[in-house]
Every structure is written in C-alpha cells, then in structure tokens.
C-alpha cells in the first residue's frame, strides 16, 4: 500500500482545506481491504491480484466521490438526462473552475514526499495509525442528529398549517396591476462579488427585504415555490404533488379579478421550464411570444436570450392597448444564468465568468430601472415585485466551486427581494424606503399582496406602510432544500443533510 498512502494523505489535505469531507470509517475499511495479505503460494494469486487492483480502483473513485460535497452520481446523471447536455464550451468553462494552482502544487509536493518517504518508512503502518487516531472523531464528533431532525420536522409541521387568505377588494376589482419579476441567478453574495450591492435600483423599492430566502438553488423548484406562496414552505418532495387550490398564487389572483399573463426572455425548453410553469405552478396560458425582440445573449446551450427591457416593453405596449381592468404578469429572465454569453463572442468560455457576470448584471439592472421608469411615466398603478429564483454562486466556496449549487447554502439562497408601489400619490411626503431585515420567504409575498387587496396602498395618503403592516409581515426561519440536500439554521448554527444521510455542521470557513 506504499503508493496508496498518497491517496489517503491527499484526501486528508483536501479535507483540511475543506474541499471535501473525510469519512474516517469508510476510509479505514478501504485501507484494511488494501492490506489483505495473499500467500505467494496461492495458485490463482496473479488473477486475484488483478481483480483486487480493479476493485480497489473503482472503490477509490467511489469513496472519493462519497467524500466530496457533490450530489449522488445517479442524481447528477438524472438531471442531465432530464434537462439535456450543455454545450461543449460551457463544459470546458465549468471544468476549468476546479483548477486551483496552489492546491495542485501542494498535491504534487505531497506525492513527491510520499514517494520518497516510502523508501525509508512503512507507510502502511503510518496510514493505519492516522486513520485509527481519527476514528473517534467520526464516532463522537457528530452533532445531535435527532435533535436537528426534530427541529426540521417541527418547522414543516408549522409550515403545513400556514395559509394566506385573500379577500376580494371592496370595490369588486383591483385598481392596480401586478408585475412579478422572477430573476434567475442573483443573490446578495453575487452582488457583493460584482460590487453592486449598493446599486441605485435597490433604493427604488418601497419595501426591501434583506433576508429573503429563495429556499432552493434551481429554477424549476423556485418557480413552483413562488407560485405556491399562499401556503407555508413545503418539503421538496411535495413540490411536484398537487396542492390545495388555495395554495396557488396566480389562480388566486384570477379569482380576485386579475387577468394573469406570462412572458419569458428565453424559450422555456431547458429543464421543461414552460411545461412546469403550466403543470405545477398553475400559470395558465401560453407565455407571450417574444419573437422579433433583439437577442444580445445566448444561453449555455446556445439558445437565444431576449433583451430584458425590449421584452418587457413589448408586454407593456400590449397591456396598455388591452381593456383588462387589472393584469398580473409573471416575467422570467435568465440573462444572468451560468454560461450565458454575448451572442457575438465565440470564445466566451475562455473569459473569466465573474467579469462576464458583472457585465450582464449591470445591463439587467439598467434594463429593469428603465422599465420601472416606463411604468412610472405611464401614470398607471402597478405593484412591482422583484424576486430572485436563486443565486449563481459567482464566488463559490470551499465546499462548492463557482457555479455549483447542489447544496443550497445561504450565499446562494439569500437574495434581495423588493416591492415597489408605482403610481401612488404621496401628498408631497418624501419617499422613505422601509427595510425588512427579518427572515422571510415566498409566504411574505403572498401575504403582502393579500394585504394590498384588502387595503390598497393607493388609498392611503402620505406615510406608508403603517407600523402594523410592517409588524404583520410573516417571518420564515431559514431552511433551504434541494432534491438531496437540506441546509437549516438551528440555534444560530448551520447544519447540512445530504447523501451521507446524517447531519453535519457547516462551519463559517466552509462558506468562504
């Protein structure tokens, strides 16, 4: 096992750097398998050694994957099968993010030291001594899984009981439109990476939520969670199950008197986004056709991305020409999605992704500010809800490289959510933004809309919102979840439950 010792020491180094976990018991079992003796006199010794070497190689790869933070391989394969293979350029760009020159230099030096040391030391004994010494940490150093699991169950039990009850306006019909801007790949951490956390757009919202949790880090679940906002936060496994009718946001708005519409700045094919919008999110009707709108960007699969402002302007032009008394729009943009690139840049994949992201973010924020100005100039009453799907992980972390979002950590799911009241007469009172710092999620969006319908913000002169309104915004404690990963905050600490099927604490350094 002399050279196999490099495998274990390399993994211990990566564990020290928090790039991977290190399951001591499984690694100890593998080490014991490697040193199983075989008599030189055994008749089939060569054949057995060949088989053992093959088994050892497969086991080493499987154990390394087990120790990484990656999702189970079958889940990754299932996702690719369902959503399709990205372009070759995107794959090359993504793989390049795993290259860390400092780490590779250390690993190269570690290999040289291990090889030289094997000439003078019994590396097998050294490896076993280290693994046996670490074994108690695996057995006794784990958090209280039962206690954390009980906290999670209590969270979902409480969420199952929550409902937002909508009441039709006294006048019989709403006197304002609703525009929901659902933004893919934008979190506070991404804004900080791009140095745009203080962009003027954030100051335009009447309500700015600084601790909004998107709950998930993927588009399909984000869409469904938003459109089931009338009810408490569901488990991921229940997202694609039928919910009670009162849970669906847009059908509820239809009953309140809104005509609901949708428009995307992409084709909606990847991940069956348009299909899930109709089937699981209950956003009725075909999305408005954006054909003919300029396409300055391309997705990672080379499909076109339409210009945000021009797409929204087309919808608004149609809206102004319609006779609908009140309209609720769902707009989805993928302009910031990982792998998006300028249509006229053939070698985009060679550029640094953070620089490209900053360019796209700057353009998107300018487009949305321009659209808000267009709404204001129209003189109509419009409630705009700016809500991200999830972050992009531009900076990444020790446990997930940039762009990888399988574990829904706070830097990926904590995002800016804003609500702007356009067309409100303020009676000469100065605009004063209200910042909501309490943890919230999609339930707060439904609650706010229900409050607007019950008591229109346009009917109140001067100071708005009231203290009672602010105090009534429902809090939702932090719990984020994907298909095979849960991250929860319990008593100020973060815990992760993944493919290992046990709870582990996520330390602050692992998020850097």
Residue 427's CATH number: 3.40.720.10
Instruction: At 20, list the tokens.
Output: 């991977």
Q: How far apart are CA 349 and CA 339, in angstroms?
A: 8
461-474 residues labelled b (16+ CB within 10 A) or e (exposed): eeebbeeebeeebe
Any domain includes 512: no
Evaluate the omega torsion of the peptide bond into residue 219 and state whether it is cis, within 30 degrees of 0.
no
Q: How far apart are CA 233 and CA 388, in angstroms?
A: 17
pLDDT of 189 higher than 80 = yes
Any domain includes 497: no
Residue 486 has a pLDDT of 97
Q: How far apart are CA 273 and CA 184, in angstroms?
A: 12
Beta carbons of 84 and 270 less than 8 angstroms apart: yes
Q: Sorting pLDDT into bands at 50, 70 and 90, what band is 432?
A: confident
pLDDT of 309 higher than 60 = yes
Helix/strand/coil percentages in the chain, nearest 5: 45, 15, 40
Q: How far apart are CA 282 and CA 249, in angstroms?
A: 8
Any domain includes 201: yes
Q: Span 260-279, mean pLDDT?
A: 93
Any domain includes 495: no
Contacts of 258 (CB under 8 A, 6+ apart): 174, 177, 178, 326, 327, 328
Q: How far apart are CA 167 and CA 10, in angstroms?
A: 62
Any domain includes 491: no
Tell me how far CA of residue 274 lies from CA of 172, 269, 285, 298, 333, in angstroms.
Answer: 32, 6, 10, 18, 12
Please tell me which residue, 335 or 458, carries the higher pLDDT value. 335
Q: Span 454-472, mean pLDDT?
A: 82
Any domain includes 509: no
pLDDT of 188 higher than 90 = yes
Of 89, 111, 140, the last residue of a domain is 140
Of 105, 140, 175, the last residue of a domain is 140
Q: Span 137-160, mean pLDDT?
A: 87
Q: How far apart are CA 338 and CA 190, in angstroms?
A: 12
Q: Sorting pLDDT into bands at 50, 70 and 90, what band is 171?
A: confident
pLDDT of 15 higher than 80 = yes
Residue 5 has a pLDDT of 92
Q: What is the pLDDT of residues 53-99, one digit of tens each?
A: 999 999 999 999 999 988 888 777 776 665 566 777 777 787 777 77
**Structural domains of the chain, count:** 2
Q: Sorting pLDDT into bands at 50, 70 and 90, what band is 447?
A: very high
Predicted TM-score (pTM) of the model is 0.91
Q: Based on the domain organization, do 226 and 322 belong to the same domain?
A: yes
User: Domain limits at 455?
Assistant: 149-482
Of the listed ranges 153-157, 378-382, 503-507, the least confidently predicted one is: 503-507
Q: Sorting pLDDT into bands at 50, 70 and 90, what band is 461?
A: low
Q: Based on the domain organization, do 160 and 131 belong to the same domain?
A: no
Beta carbons of 308 and 285 less than 8 angstroms apart: no
- Percent over 70 (pLDDT), the chain: 96
Q: Based on the domain organization, do 200 and 249 belong to the same domain?
A: yes
Residue 335 has a pLDDT of 97
Nearest to 419 by CA among 456, 382, 391: 382
Please tell me which residue, 77 or 225, carries the higher pLDDT value. 225
Q: Based on the domain organization, do 78 and 211 belong to the same domain?
A: no
pLDDT of 462 higher than 60 = no
Beta carbons of 317 and 301 less than 8 angstroms apart: no
Q: How far apart are CA 500 and CA 256, in angstroms?
A: 46
pLDDT of 49 higher than 80 = yes
Any domain includes 505: no
Facing residues of 213 across strands? 414
Q: Based on the domain organization, do 338 and 427 belong to the same domain?
A: yes
Torsion of CA 448, 451, 452, 458, to 10 degrees: -120
Any domain includes 490: no
Instruction: At 26, list the tokens.
Output: 């499984």
Residue 245 has a pLDDT of 96
Q: Sorting pLDDT into bands at 50, 70 and 90, what band is 453?
A: very high
Q: Sorting pLDDT into bands at 50, 70 and 90, what band is 376?
A: very high
Q: Based on the domain organization, do 180 and 309 belong to the same domain?
A: yes
Q: Based on the domain organization, do 130 and 156 belong to the same domain?
A: no
Q: Based on the domain organization, do 50 and 95 belong to the same domain?
A: yes
Q: How far apart are CA 431 and CA 205, in angstroms?
A: 10
Q: Based on the domain organization, do 246 and 336 belong to the same domain?
A: yes
Residue 70 has a pLDDT of 86
Q: Based on the domain organization, do 174 and 266 belong to the same domain?
A: yes
Of the listed ranges 117-121, 301-305, 370-374, the least confidently predicted one is: 117-121
Contacts of 38 (CB under 8 A, 6+ apart): 45, 48, 49, 52
Q: Sorting pLDDT into bands at 50, 70 and 90, what band is 420?
A: very high
pLDDT of 445 higher than 90 = yes
Q: Based on the domain organization, do 154 and 136 belong to the same domain?
A: no
Q: Span 313-339, mean pLDDT?
A: 96
Q: Based on the domain organization, do 71 and 209 belong to the same domain?
A: no
Q: How far apart are CA 102 and CA 442, in angstroms?
A: 41
């Amino acid at each position: 096992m002399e050279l196999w010792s490099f495998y274990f020491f390399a993994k211990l180094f990566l564990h020290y750097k928090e790039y991977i976990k290190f399951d001591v018991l499984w690694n100890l079992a593998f080490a014991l398998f490697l040193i199983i003796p075989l008599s030189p006199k055994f008749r089939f010794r060569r054949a057995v050694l060949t088989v053992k070497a093959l088994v050892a190689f497969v086991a080493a790869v499987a154990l390394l994957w087990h120790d990484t933070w990656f999702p189970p391989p079958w889940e990754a394969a299932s996702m690719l099968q369902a959503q399709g293979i990205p372009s070759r350029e995107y794959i090359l760009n993504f793989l390049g993010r795993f290259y860390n020159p400092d780490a590779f230099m250390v690993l190269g030096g570690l290999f040289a030291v291990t090889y030289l040391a094997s000439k003078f030391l019994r590396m097998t004994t050294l490896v076993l001594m280290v693994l046996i010494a670490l074994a108690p940490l695996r057995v006794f150093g784990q958090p209280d899984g039962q206690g954390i699991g009980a906290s999670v169950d209590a969270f979902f039990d409480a969420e199952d009981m929550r409902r937002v009850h909508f009441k039709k306006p006294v006048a019989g019909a709403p006197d304002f439109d609703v525009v929901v801007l659902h933004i893919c790949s934008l979190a506070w951490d991404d804004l900080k990476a791009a140095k745009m956390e203080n962009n003027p757009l954030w100051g335009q919202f009447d309500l700015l939520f600084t601790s909004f949790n998107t709950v998930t880090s993927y588009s399909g679940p984000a869409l469904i969670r938003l459109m089931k906002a009338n009810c408490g936060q569901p488990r991921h496994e229940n997202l694609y199950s039928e919910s009670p009718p009162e849970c669906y946001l847009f059908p509820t708005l239809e009953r309140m008197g809104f005509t609901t519409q949708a428009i995307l700045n992409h084709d909606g094919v990847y991940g069956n986004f348009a299909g899930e919008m109709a089937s699981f999110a209950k956003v009725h009707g075909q999305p408005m056709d954006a054909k003919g709108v300029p396409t300055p960007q391309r997705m990672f699969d080379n499909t076109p991305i339409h210009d945000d402002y021009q797409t929204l302007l087309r919808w608004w032009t149609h809206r102004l020409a319609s006779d609908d008394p009140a309209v609720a729009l769902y707009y989805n943009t993928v302009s910031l999605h990982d792998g998006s690139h300028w249509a006229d840049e053939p070698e985009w994949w060679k550029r640094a992704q953070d620089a490209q992201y900053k360019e796209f973010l700057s353009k998107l924020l300018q487009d949305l500010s321009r659209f808000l100005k267009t709404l204001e100039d129209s003189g109509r009453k419009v409630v705009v809800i700016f809500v991200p799907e999830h972050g992009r992980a531009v900076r990444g972390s020790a446990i997930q490289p940039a762009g990888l979002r399988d574990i829904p950590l706070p830097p990926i799911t904590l995002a800016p959510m804003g609500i702007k009241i356009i067309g409100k007469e303020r009676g000469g009172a100065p605009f004063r933004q209200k910042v909501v710092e309490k943890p919230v999620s999609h339930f707060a969006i439904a609650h706010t809309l229900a409050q607007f319908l019950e008591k229109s913000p346009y009917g109140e002169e001067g100071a708005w919102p009231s203290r009672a309104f602010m105090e009534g915004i429902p809090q939702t404690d932090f719990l984020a979840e994907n298909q095979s990963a849960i991250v929860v905050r319990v008593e100020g600490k973060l815990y992760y439950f993944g493919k290992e099927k046990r709870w582990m604490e996520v330390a602050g350094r692992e998020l850097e």
